[in-house]
């Protein structure tokens, strides 16, 4: 979508700045975020018109990269930004970019802008809310996106529609080489699919008419059996004693085994760090749902995926 906040006259000035031979870094830094993104898009288009080793094309690529970095610095420099969350799960409202197929969270630079977006979606009976993220929380927020499978941010989507890759803002965690084995547990595919699944499930309309539910459920189960999970335990495990697991009960007093896709989800359940974490494969999880346990619940503090014992047996046969 074009940057509608920039006038035609201003776009002409910006085009001239892109095409000029000089590289005026200090002038570029005075641009607004929207102007920087417009110039990034124009420089990228100009660069694509030249061969990969052409000096003129390299000049435009250098400008495009500079403008992209400029946008990121302006985002980091905000005192706070606002993110669209799905209220039933308290997770970012995920969406897929129709052209690039990026999985995105929607970020707004002012409270006024997100207020309008929330109102519009709520009028469509989609339960969303605005969540404020302060500057000191930025790194934690961006890092969490990798754990839930979100790879991009759509900035002010109802207006300027700026698309930023999160791995250009901060480094993706190197799960394979983490010393903390609990922190290395990550299931971004399961998390992302469960977010889309819950958004579709809670959308207005009859369940039988929601054609996206079956394929999303199939994908979710496929991710489930491949995953590794964190299970809360009391104390420190030993060879001489069985694991003590704090099970969950629903309002009908039915008992469920809780499991978590990553340390962020585990901390939502365990904010005071009363419990340690044991690492379970899906097979071990399913095997731990014994006679007196009703089933398994994944991420009970967010997407709350409940899997009764009978369903677990079908999943094992069908997917594993």
Lowest mean pLDDT among 30-39, 104-113, 270-279: 30-39
Pairing of strands 103-108, 295-298: unpaired
> DSSP for 244-291?
----EE-TT--EEEEEBSSHHHHHHH-TT--SEEEEEEHHHHHHH--T
Region 268-272 average pLDDT: 94
Model pLDDT for residues 215-267, shown as the tens digit of each residue: 999 999 999 999 999 999 998 776 677 788 999 999 999 999 999 999 999 99
Pairing of strands 103-108, 152-155: parallel
CB 261 within 8 A of CB 190: yes
Model pLDDT for residues 42-97, shown as the tens digit of each residue: 999 999 998 877 888 888 999 999 999 999 999 999 999 999 999 999 999 999 99
Model pLDDT for residues 134-186, shown as the tens digit of each residue: 999 999 999 999 999 999 999 988 766 789 999 999 999 898 889 899 999 99
Tell whether the torsion through CA atoms of 237, 240, 241 and 242 is positive or negative: positive
Six-digit token pair at 289?
A: 């749902």
pLDDT > 70: percent of the chain: 97
């Amino acid at each position: 979508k074009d940057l509608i906040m920039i006038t035609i006259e201003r776009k002409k000035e910006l085009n001239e700045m892109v095409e000029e031979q000089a590289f005026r870094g200090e002038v570029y830094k005075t641009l607004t975020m929207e102007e920087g993104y417009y110039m990034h898009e124009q420089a990228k288009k100009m660069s694509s018109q030249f061969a990969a080793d052409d000096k003129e094309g390299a000049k435009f690529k250098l400008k495009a990269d500079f403008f992209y970095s400029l946008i990121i610095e302006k985002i980091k420099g905000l005192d706070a930004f606002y993110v669209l969350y799905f209220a039933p799960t308290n997770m970012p409202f995920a969406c897929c970019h129709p052209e690039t197929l990026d999985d995105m969270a929607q970020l707004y630079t002012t409270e006024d802008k997100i207020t309008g977006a929330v109102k519009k979606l709520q009028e469509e009976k989609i339960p969303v809310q605005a969540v404020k993220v302060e500057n000191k929380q930025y790194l934690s927020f961006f890092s969490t996106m990798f754990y839930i499978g979100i790879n991009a941010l759509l900035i002010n989507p109802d207006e300027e529609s700026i698309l930023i890759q999160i791995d250009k803002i901060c480094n993706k965690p190197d799960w394979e080489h983490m010393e903390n084995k609990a922190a290395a547990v990550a299931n971004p595919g399961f998390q992302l699919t469960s977010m889309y699944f819950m958004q579709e499930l809670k959308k207005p309309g009859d369940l039988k008419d929601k054609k996206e539910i079956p394929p999303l459920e199939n994908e979710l189960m496929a991710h489930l059996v491949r995953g590794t999970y964190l299970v809360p335990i009391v104390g420190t495990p030993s060879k001489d004693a069985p694991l003590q697991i704090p099970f969950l009960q629903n309002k009908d007093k039915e008992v469920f085994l809780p499991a978590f896709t990553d340390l962020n989800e585990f901390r939502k359940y365990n904010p005071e760090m009363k419990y340690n974490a044991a690492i379970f494969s899906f097979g071990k999880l399913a095997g731990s749902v014994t006679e007196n346990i009703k089933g398994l619940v994944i991420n009970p503090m967010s997407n709350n995926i409940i899997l009764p014992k009978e369903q677990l047996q079908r999943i094992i046969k069908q997917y594993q």
